[in-house]
Structure 1
Amino acid sequence: MPMPQVPFDDRGLAYGDGVFETVLLRDGVPVLWDYHLARLEQGCRRLNIPLPTSQQLAQVWQSPPAAALEVLKLILTRGSGGRGYALPDHPEPRLIFRRTPFVTNGQRWQHGVCVRLCHLRLGHQPLLAGIKHLNRLENVLARQEWQESHIAEGLLADQSGEMVEATSMNLFWSTEGRLLTPRVNRCGVAGTLRAALLANGVIEEEGLTVSELPQVERLWVGNSVQGVWPVCELLDTQGGLIATWPVLAGPDPLQREAHRLLGYPSVFLASESK
């Protein structure tokens, strides 16, 4: 399906004035759809953008699937108009979307991944924290920090040295058997898989500093499309190895619960070191 043309004066293009969702479709049905709708509604309230109707939102996915697994990218902008940053008197939001077939990365589920710390520190803006707004330049800059194919993700801390997230995934860890995730009340994205795990009592929110990160029992990154990747190697901002975690010989506790929510298999991780 071709992407519709966006007018030159669209506020999402000009200012990042909008929100988006990236949704896993299984046999044409959105996974964790209620959590995506809740975040979309919150983003629209924060930015004061009229929310599309339920019928309009349903039309973006209620068509025959092209593959068993697809990714739906949904973008909602405030539309066109207004003078400079001033809002249009009568905004007409623009909803565009695209569906593409998706293939999971079972190797990363099973054998784990290498991640690195990013130089970039996230700025604090509580009014935008948690929502998936269209201005993601911090993430774009952070992703430029490495090109090595064996590095799966970059981890981001905020300006005070608290861990927040990965560039396109949420961050999880375990301490004394507890499954934890950083708070995202000052910056970062509140992922829908993260929200579902919190709602089901699987994880708790807690603070974690950059210096504490290498000492955690286990580390994971995950989102509602890719599932959960165990972290086996952590690199510093220069690419030097600062921590390793052995792959598990049995079921991964976080992956088991997360993949149940997504309809993915919970794999047994290889017992040998990476």
Structure 2
Amino acid sequence: MIGSDSTDPMVALTDRGLAYGDGLFETVLVRDGTPLLWNEHCARLIHGAHRLGFEPPSRGWLDALPEKAPRGEHVLKVVLTRGSGGRGYRPPDPAEPRCYWQFTPFTPMPERWEQGVSVRLCHLRLGRQPALAGLKHLNRLENVLARQEWHDDAIAEGIILNDRDQLVEATAMNLAWFDQGQWWTPELIECGVEGTLRRALIDQGHLSIAGAEDASLSRFLNARSTCLFNSVQGLWPIVRCFDAQHQHVSGQWLIDDSVRRLQDGAHALLGYPSNLPTS
């Protein structure tokens, strides 16, 4: 494993991560040297490397990275590529992977936890590719194009559907809706990123997986409550969703107890404060 931290940021032009998006990345919340949801992040990175067909770093090698963090709250970004070599798209065999990492100071946005956010529907549709579904791979051009659709800071996120108009995710977060007494999130077997907070919430029984036929936009817009979440920002309740033209409100929700309960479960995993009312 060839490693390079933020003090040595040079990336070779021959690196396949740069040339082809041939690699993976993780963004990890680190507080005073302690990484949150670290087991989930390591598992996703190692699983992703096996899926792409090259050797991942050892768990021991990865465990040493958060120890380098400064005090305070930071985001650790880890980028793992197949390295250089091969001929054109043909990968080298064996590969000599490279891993880059960097710590960036981070401040969460508690006003979004408390007051909720407005979102919009995106024009862009995600293509379905089961071989890459769930992975946080480096080729994120679809997400870049979707995020390019708006410049209004009052819109926190964009909701992305697949080419069958089924719910998948937001540009940088997973999503969920409350219906029939439980929280649902789309299955991600054809496209989308399986977030680490999403995985933990499913494992703890807070979220259920909705099949493709149940992940329709109408179910989302007609749900009692909706939200967005990831392992860095925590959980943002959605209070308003605009259409793709940003001219009409397609959905509107109150922040009720169901949202606060899910938020409490999510924030407990990240060490963020609860917003549940105290009696």
Q: TM-score, normalised by structure 2?
A: 0.93
Helix, strand or coil at the partner of 2:45:
helix
Helix, strand or coil at the partner of 1:62:
helix
Q: Which amino acid aligns with 2:271?
A: G
- Corresponding residue of 1:247: 255
Matches within 5 A, 1:32-111: 32-63=37-68, 65-111=69-115
Deviations 1:25-45, CA, capped at 9 Å, x for gaps: 121111111111111111111
- Corresponding residue of 1:176: 180
Contact kept in structure 2, 1:24 and 1:31, CA below 8 Å:
yes
- Corresponding residue of 1:257: 265
Q: Aligned Cα RMSD in Å? A: 1.4
Q: Which amino acid aligns with 1:150?
A: A
Contact kept in structure 1, 2:113 and 2:235, CA below 8 Å:
yes
**Equivalent-residue separation in structure 2 for 1:36 and 1:162 (angstroms):** 27
CA offset at residue 268 of structure 1?
Answer: 4.3
Q: Could you tell me which of 212, 221, 236 is aligned with 2:219?
A: 212
Helix, strand or coil at the partner of 1:115:
strand
- Corresponding residue of 2:243: 236
**Equivalent-residue separation in structure 1 for 2:113 and 2:141 (angstroms):** 28
Q: Which amino acid aligns with 1:203?
A: L
Deviations 1:86-107, CA, capped at 9 Å, x for gaps: 1112211000000011111000
Q: Give the count of matched residue pairs.
A: 268
- Structure 2 unmatched runs, 5+: 1-5
C-alpha distance 106-94 of structure 1, shift in aligned 2 (>3 A): same
Contact kept in structure 2, 1:156 and 1:165, CA below 8 Å:
yes
**Equivalent-residue separation in structure 1 for 2:133 and 2:215 (angstroms):** 17
Q: Which amino acid aligns with 2:200?
A: A
Contact kept in structure 1, 2:226 and 2:259, CA below 8 Å:
no
- Corresponding residue of 2:148: 144
Deviations 1:91-127, CA, capped at 9 Å, x for gaps: 1100000001111100000000000000001110001
Q: Does 1:2 align with 2:7?
A: yes
Moved more, 176-185 or 148-157: 176-185
Contact kept in structure 2, 1:251 and 1:268, CA below 8 Å:
no
Helix, strand or coil at the partner of 1:252:
helix
Contact kept in structure 2, 1:163 and 1:182, CA below 8 Å:
yes
Q: Which amino acid aligns with 2:267?
A: H
- Corresponding residue of 1:24: 29
Moved more, 180-189 or 208-217: 208-217
**Equivalent-residue separation in structure 1 for 2:227 and 2:263 (angstroms):** 9
- Corresponding residue of 2:139: 135
Deviations 1:181-228, CA, capped at 9 Å, x for gaps: 110010000000000001111110013212332101100000000000
Contact kept in structure 1, 2:116 and 2:237, CA below 8 Å:
yes
- Corresponding residue of 1:272: none
- Structure 1 unmatched runs, 5+: 270-274
**Equivalent-residue separation in structure 2 for 1:248 and 1:204 (angstroms):** 19
Identity of aligned pairs, percent? 49
**Equivalent-residue separation in structure 2 for 1:251 and 1:226 (angstroms):** 16
**Equivalent-residue separation in structure 2 for 1:182 and 1:86 (angstroms):** 34
- Corresponding residue of 1:167: 171
Q: Could you tell me which of 192, 195, 217 is aligned with 1:191?
A: 195
